[in-house]
Structure 1
């Protein structure tokens, strides 16, 4: 019977959705300062200051014209041109005569080096198009190993193509171009279990997945090595053997602050979590926005970066050569 008590509210959701009414409650609201910043080691610090507003207010009502921002590194006031380094303790203080004060502290984590990378291509298909260019379609699987340092650590993985500006698709949804390019996309997030560690059993049963979520912690491999399995299912090259674009594919491992991870986890729960849908209909507690600022609005986060470049040029040249030899 206890099980039925939990299931019945879920079954009632479509019924309640059909009779809901939109209204704007008259809620008291005192605006406070909202401070946002992503501090990156080796880059100038950019700070965004606004004020909190009701959900029904327009974005132009969040501007703060009299805000003064001070940046401290390891307890010392710095100029706006200060460049943070790994290990810095950064404190950002914003003050406004109209909306008070807000400040937040964040530790710039030490970058975790990428220990090793192995990769392989498969399902390779090569042909020559009407422009005389070789089109190569393939899949790429990458095994990226990191060595987790001592302590509690948080990570974000990302990737970047260096040459995708000249891509377009023809009527058959096949990529063609008069200018050489290479593109590696369509990461299969569900094939790397570490990207789903934030998803509970209930969210999983309700259809939650890790698509586009590449944040993770070291809870499952604290102080040890871990290898991420990264499979890219939509990879293209268009060009010639003699006219070769930059074929680098960049893998990025960001060591991030806990505030960055907590904010990303909150955004996933808000946009994709089943518990947030239940709270919208009154069947659960609301999911409150995350903030590490003293005002309760805004997030100050930090990251340090390590990169690894995969050069696909030898693979491309070998594939074109084999195609030529097989069609002579």
Structure 2
């Protein structure tokens, strides 16, 4: 397998080195069309980004390409009924993870998606034409429980604090509904906002979970980058109860000697997000384009190019949906004695 890897690398490098300075540009129809991107997330107002497509040669180094449909109109339908007609606007956006406020522009609705809603978006531009697409908001799938196995535990007294170090193997258990095909995005993050100790740390390791690489072939597992993707389908676990295998490595958790675990209320939020098929297929197509074997060979002319998946009528953009379900696990739970 190592020899094959070297042969493929050598072939790719030969083509790249002999083709770097080609001025050839294929005769591809590059007439701009309307592009729609929207991700309907339960619990958040729907934002629709309707723009136009552009060529890389249009990009101004200082300002970028002017792609906004400022004279456009977007019609939003929910469950077959017209919900509202939107026009271009700008608004302030505050990400709760950060302190600063950013500007966003597009088509801001007043609609909050609900599980089971069928959403249709139609965009019109006097100059670039029409585009439309639809999505159904998935129902949530709850996390049943989080099982843990602590290893390499080390407890150290440091002045008036106690430092805990450990590695933890987890089973994040859920039950997949049998009646429909389901798609998921797994996420985890450490929250230390309620702690006065800022050296709390965790290294998340998803490499033990085979579902996260269900889209990877044997050859791709050797020559491609496969980490960093935590989307998966239920094709291997349909109707079953299954524990996602997650590792928390190099945990460092400090508490005061006086107040103990009450002095550090840091926790990990595990989220099992139910996502639409369009969300799943787009993410997988991005991986196939960037890291899949066909994408790698297509970049150098040895295979047909791999295009990112779209469910918009013009082939530009993605209309997707996501329904979160999460659980909070205090870091202290890994170190408290039963």
TM-score range, shorter chain: 0.7 to 0.9
Following superposition, the deviation at residue 154 of structure 1 comes to 0.4
Q: Aligned pair 1:233/2:249, yes or no?
A: yes
The reply on whether 1:285 has 2:304 as its aligned counterpart is yes
Structure 2 CA distance for aligned equivalents of residues 47 and 92 of structure 1: 9
Whole-angstrom CA distance in 2 between matches of 1:97 and 1:245: 57
Deviation at 1:205, TM superposition (A): 3.1
Shift of 1:312: 2.5
SS of equivalent residue, structure 1 residue 191: coil
Contact 1:184 1:232 (C-alpha < 8 Å) held by counterparts: no
The aligned counterpart of 2:47 is 46
> How far apart, in 2, do the equivalents of 1:113 and 1:83 lie?
20
The CA deviation string for residues 87-106 of structure 1, in whole angstroms up to 9 with x for no partner, is 00011111111111111100
Q: Which of 207, 211, 217 is the equivalent residue of 1:200? A: 217
Equivalent residue number for residue 3 of structure 2: none
Task: Encode CA deviations 1:45-79: one digit per residue, 9 max, x unaligned.
Answer: 11112111113432433222112122111011224
Segments of structure 2 that go 5 or more residues without pairing to the other structure are 1-5, 85-108
Aligned-pair CA distance for 1:206 = 1.8
Give the whole-Å Cα distance in 2 for the aligned partners of 1:265 and 1:231: 23
* Displacement after TM superposition at 1:275 (Å): 2.0
CA distance in 2, matches of 1:184, 1:219: 34
Which residue in 1 is equivalent to 2:68? 63
Q: Contact 1:36 / 1:299 at 8 angstroms: preserved in 2?
A: yes
Secondary structure at the counterpart of residue 14 of structure 2: helix
Q: Give the structure 2 partner of residue 173 of structure 1.
A: none
What is the CA–CA distance in structure 1 between the aligned matches of 2:7 and 2:331, rounded to whole Å? 54
Report if aligned partners of 2:253, 2:331 keep a CA contact under 8 Å in 1: no
Verify the 8 A CA contact 2:183 2:280 in the aligned structure 1: yes
From 270, 295, 300, the counterpart of 1:276:
295
Q: Supply the distance in 2 between the matched residues of 1:180 and 1:11 (Cα, whole angstroms).
A: 50
TM-score when normalising by structure 1: 0.83
Tell me the equivalent position of 2:175. Answer: 147
Q: 1:118 aligns with which of 147, 156, 163?
A: 147
The alpha-carbon deviation at position 112 of structure 1 amounts to: 0.9
Structure 1 residues 313 and 165 mapped into 2: Cα distance closer, same or farther (>3 Å)? closer
Deviation of 1:161 after TM superposition, in Å, equals 1.4
Quote how far apart the aligned CAs of 1:183 are: 4.3
* Counterparts of 1:147 and 1:37, CA distance in 2: 28
Deviations 1:17-65 (A, max 9, x none): 2222333627541111111111012321111121111134324332221
Specify whether residues 256 and 182 from structure 1 end up closer, same or farther in structure 2 by C-alpha distance, changes over 3 A only.
Answer: farther
> 2: distance between equivalents of 1:87 and 1:48?
22
1:94 and 2:123 correspond: yes
Aligned counterpart for 1:157 among listed residues 158, 172, 186: 186
Q: Is the 8 A contact 2:212 2:229 kept in 1?
A: yes
Distance change >3 Å, CA 248–CA 9, structure 1 → 2: closer
SS in 2 for 1:61: coil
Offset of residue 186 of structure 1: 2.7
Quote the residue 1:17 is aligned against: 16
Contact 1:139–1:233 (CA<8 Å) still a contact in 2?
Answer: yes
Residues 181 and 239 of structure 1 are in contact (CA less than 8 Å); yes or no, is this contact kept in structure 2?
no
State whether residues 42 and 112 of structure 2, in contact with CA within 8 Å, keep that contact through their aligned partners in structure 1.
yes
How well do the aligned residues superpose, as a CA RMSD in angstroms? Answer: 2.7
Post-superposition Cα deviations, 1:230-252, rounded to whole Å, max 9, x if no partner, equal 11113222341426132221110
CA distance in 2, matches of 1:8, 1:182: 45
Q: In 2, are the aligned partners of 1:38 and 1:302 still within 8 Å (CA)?
A: yes
Contact in 1 for aligned 2:119/2:135 (Cα 8 Å): yes
Q: CA deviation at 1:116?
A: 2.4
- Judging changes above 3 Å, is the alpha-carbon distance between structure 1 residues 314 and 119 closer, same or farther for their aligned structure 2 residues? closer
DSSP-derived class of the 2:248 partner? strand
- Establish whether residue 219 from structure 1 lines up as the match of residue 219 from structure 2: no
